């Protein structure tokens, strides 16, 4: 039994047809699946990651736009088929959502990275859309690095469906970090930029001195130093101001500023930070070296990095009376299986829950808490990373 997750790419779900891709040229066009010959498929979930030259901006324009309109079951209801735009380095990273004939306006990004997402439901279909992008301007000063190379492992992970989890392919999750306290693994974390680790605030309850901690990157074996391993000290621990572990697990998120940037290579590279919510039943992966037994009286740590596949569970279901009974806040998400079997556990705390969209992996959650490990109706509860995009950007800019 092991506690971790996996995901079916947001951008490859369109009735078996690929949709969405990384776009890195100076300019280009993209469209919804089947455009313009036929209507787009049901149950599409596509994402385009647009990255232009460093220091430039993305100018986005839609030339045609025809999607199913808002829900007909309620006046002014929500969009059911829609396009979303995310500008990851803008003050308000969620630009907006559009459906029907409400074509998005021309948009100029805040940095060289823009994300466009398209979702359709299982009922009505329409013509779809076509959009184009171009590079605008030249080098500008930005406060944070752009994530052009994030979420793309050089060594492919094995995504075989194994109940209870399995040993990961070495260095196939290159953002995975071991947070060692006084030399011993205590928590997980993820590299989100060369000098920054994302993890859980509760890892630092009673252990808030930087001198206590070392971050291990490129590691596969917990109790020995791997040839590709980088050990880096911690310059600053940034715990969310709203975290209060004594009363709840809300805002269970923290950042570590490293003493120096990690060396980015085939074995160590950052994960992308999720720009939006992944829907329920999305398959994702969680990784860690934590307890593999899940019994209260005995903790058996994994010696090699483990991975486990779990599904995002509907928030209302997870918060229902016979599940967590209202203990899951709006800043949290649940991932696991109704019958248990695979979950994060002790010493997996702070580790990443990642989901694949297109060709990239995005961190959707941070391992936070749960009742036991892999118990029925008691899935892992994760800090919802999407809710903290602005906080992450603000802190990284505050401590350059």
Return the active site residues.
202, 252, 349
CB 250 within 8 A of CB 368: no
Across-strand partners of 272? 362
How many Cα atoms sit within 13 Å of 220 on the Cβ side?
13
CA distance 178 to 379: 23
- Structure token pair of residue 58: 């993305």
Q: Which helix (H) or strand (E) holds 398?
A: helix 389-398
Asked if residue 232 has a cis previous peptide bond (ω within 30° of 0), the answer is: no
Give the pair of three-digit tokens for residue 9: 């790419």
Residue 82: is it exposed, middle or buried by C-beta count within 10 angstroms (0-12/13-18/19+)?
A: buried
DSSP secondary-structure letter at 375?
B
Q: Determine the Cα–Cα distance for residues 339 and 319; give it in Å rounded to an integer.
A: 16
- Phi and psi at 5, nearest 5°, equal -145, 170
d(C-alpha 45, C-alpha 4), whole Å: 23
Short-list 24, 109, 110, CA closest to 59: 109
Copy the structure tokens of residue 184.
């011993």
Q: Which residues contact 346 (CB under 8 A, 6 or more apart)?
A: 290, 291, 299, 373
What separation in angstroms does the CA of 250 have from each of 115, 145, 201, 349? 28, 28, 10, 14
**Residue 226 has which token pair?**
């791997």
Cα dist. 26→82, 89, 105, 134, 222 in Å? Answer: 26, 19, 20, 6, 43
Estimate to the nearest angstrom the gap between the alpha carbon of 162 and the chain centroid: 22
- The HSE-up count of residue 328 (CA atoms within 13 Å, CB side) is 27
**Residue whose C-alpha is closest to residue 370's, from 339, 302, 324, 319:** 324
């Amino acid at each position: 039994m092991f506690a971790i997750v996996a995901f079916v790419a947001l951008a490859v779900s369109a009735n078996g047809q690929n949709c969405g891709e990384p776009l890195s040229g100076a300019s280009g066009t993209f469209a919804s699946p089947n455009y313009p010959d036929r209507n787009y498929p049901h149950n599409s979930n596509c994402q385009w990651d647009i990255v232009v030259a460093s220091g430039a901006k993305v100018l986005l324009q839609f030339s045609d736009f025809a999607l199913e309109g808002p829900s007909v079951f309620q006046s002014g209801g929500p969009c059911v088929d829609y396009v979303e735009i995310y500008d990851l380095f803008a003050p308000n990273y969620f630009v907006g959502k559009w459906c029907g004939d409400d074509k998005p306006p021309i948009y100029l990004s805040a940095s060289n990275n823009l994300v466009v997402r398209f979702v359709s439901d299982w009922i009505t279909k329409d013509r779809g859309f076509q959009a184009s992008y171009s590079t605008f301007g030249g080098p500008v000063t930005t406060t944070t690095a752009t994530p052009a190379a994030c979420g793309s492992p050089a060594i492919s992970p094995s995504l075989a469906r194994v109940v209870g989890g399995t040993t990961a392919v070495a260095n196939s999750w290159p953002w995975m970090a071991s947070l060692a306290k006084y030399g011993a693994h205590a928590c997980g974390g993820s590299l989100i930029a060369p000098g920054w680790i994302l993890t859980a605030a509760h890892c630092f309850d009673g252990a808030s001195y930087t001198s206590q901690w070392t971050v291990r990157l490129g590691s596969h074996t917990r109790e020995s130093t791997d040839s590709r391993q980088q050990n880096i000290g911690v310059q600053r621990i940034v715990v969310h101001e709203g975290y209060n572990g004594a009363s709840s697990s809300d805002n269970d998120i923290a950042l570590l500023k490293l003493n120096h940037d990690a060396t980015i290579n085939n074995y160590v590279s950052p994960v992308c930070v999720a720009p939006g919510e992944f829907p329920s039943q999305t398959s994702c992966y969680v990784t860690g070296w934590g307890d593999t037994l899940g019994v209260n009286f005995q903790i058996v740590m994994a010696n090699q990095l483990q991975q486990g596949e779990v599904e995002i569970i509907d928030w209302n279901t997870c918060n229902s009376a016979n599940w967590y009974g209202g203990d899951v806040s709006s800043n949290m998400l649940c991932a696991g299986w109704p019958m248990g079997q695979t979950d994060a556990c002790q010493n997996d705390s702070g580790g990443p829950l990642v989901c694949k969209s297109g060709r990239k992996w995005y961190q959707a959650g941070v391992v936070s808490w749960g009742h036991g490990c892999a118990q029925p109706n008691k899935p892992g509860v994760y800090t919802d990373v999407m809710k903290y995009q602005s906080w992450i950007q603000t802190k990284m800019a505050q401590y350059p």
